[in-house]
């Protein structure tokens, strides 16, 4: 019982300190435990956005899809890395969830109403380059005919 009270106190103390700067942190920390146990698919694709607020909106949208274990959007590369359980969801569902939050992905255009509701700093340029890896994709098998 004493131990339980102690751990609650520790959690409460952590909560207080971490809430000072960021309020949306908890969504990122709860999703990592199961990723090693199950067969997970890693996926990266381009998503347009501007800033840290975009990052949290985009990642929240991706994490909101059932089966998504982690999502990390890179503000410089305009690219998201997602890990998901492919028995529960698929790439398209993640594209659509991000688009519904107002952000363009490589495959799905962002929802216009949601885009209009974004804070001013987040109203990204629709012509922005996505997936800026700096590397050229080496699709060796892309030149065959279907």
Minimal distance in Å, beta carbon 13 to Cu ion? 31
Closer Cβ to Cu ion, 112 or 145, answer by number: 112
Closer Cβ to Cu ion, 62 or 122, answer by number: 122
Closer Cβ to Cu ion, 41 or 72, answer by number: 72
Q: How far apart are CA 92 and CA 69, in angstroms?
A: 16
Minimal distance in Å, beta carbon 65 to Cu ion? 20
Residues 109, 97: contact at Cβ < 8 Å? no
Kindly list the residues in this chain that would bind Cu ion in the complex (CB under 5 A).
50-51, 53-54, 122
Minimal distance in Å, beta carbon 56 to Cu ion? 9
Residue facing Cu ion at closest CB distance: 122
Closer Cβ to Cu ion, 50 or 63, answer by number: 50
Closer Cβ to Cu ion, 41 or 56, answer by number: 56
Residues 6+ away with beta carbon under 8 Å from 65:
84, 89, 93, 94, 97
Minimal distance in Å, beta carbon 113 to Cu ion? 17
Minimal distance in Å, beta carbon 45 to Cu ion? 19
């Amino acid at each position: 019982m004493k131990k339980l009270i102690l751990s609650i106190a520790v959690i409460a103390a952590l909560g207080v300190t971490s809430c000072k700067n960021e309020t949306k942190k908890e969504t990122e920390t709860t999703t990592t435990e199961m990723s090693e146990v199950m067969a997970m698919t890693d996926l990266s694709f381009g998503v347009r956005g501007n800033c840290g607020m975009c990052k949290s909106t985009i990642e929240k949208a991706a994490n909101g899809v059932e089966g998504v274990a982690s999502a990390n959007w890179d503000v410089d590369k305009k690219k998201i890395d997602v890990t998901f359980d492919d028995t529960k969801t698929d790439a398209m569902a993640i594209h659509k969830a991000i688009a519904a939050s107002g952000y363009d992905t490589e495959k799905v255009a962002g929802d216009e109403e949601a885009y209009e509701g974004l804070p001013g700093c987040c109203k990204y340029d629709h012509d922005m380059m996505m997936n800026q890896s700096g590397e050229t994709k080496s699709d060796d098998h892309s030149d065959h005919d279907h």
